[in-house]
Amino acid sequence: MKKVTALQMNFIWKVCAAHFIAYFTAGILALFFLDYKTHFSSEYLSSMMKPVESPWVMLGPSFQLFRGIIIALVLLPVRGFIFEKKGFIKLAWLVLGFSFISTIGPAPGSFDGYIYTLLPVSYHLGAIPEALLYTVLFSGIISLWYKFERKYITIISAIFISLILFMSIGGFLASGKAIGV
């Protein structure tokens, strides 16, 4: 079995951190500007989405650390293209293609979502801004991080992750309904 090198660990950290920060930022903006509270409680989504007040929805961002690691491990063998000319655009297209347009399941806004779900077109179209924002943030953070290798960027990302974890876990615990939800 091969050992993971310091460069690979650095890549995994950067991808995980970029995903974590981009996911939280896009999600918070979508929550407030796209009125997810109303959409999640609608007749179309209430049977498949937990309400935004759910303790598990509050805890959700903290689970993105694990998803970030998975994304990093998936990108690890093919990471070379990120460092090429226009790598940011290639990464953005890859992320948008696999995580939004061509998902394995029929997610809102995805190719299969239009075909197999009963959701109105407005729900599919409503998912586009968050997906685009996430894609640009995720790819942009990684691109800038590698373009401007600075230690303070790593420190700032660790602070952001710590704050997001604190808010996520704090919201979960403060709900008072954490057990049995």
Can you read off the two tokens belonging to residue 73? 């491990």
Q: Does the structure show a pLDDT above 50 at 45?
A: yes
DSSP codes of every residue in 41-88 = TSTTTTTTS--TTSHHHHHHHHHHHHHHHHHHHHHGGGGGGGGSTTHH
pLDDT at residue 177, as a whole number: 65
pTM of the predicted model, to two decimals?
Answer: 0.88
pLDDT digits (tens, 9 = 90+) for 138-172: 999 999 888 887 888 889 999 999 999 999 999 89
Any idea where the domains of the chain sit in the sequence? 8-174
Mean of all residue pLDDT scores within the chain: 88
At 181, is the pLDDT very low, low, confident or very high (cuts 50, 70, 90)?
very low
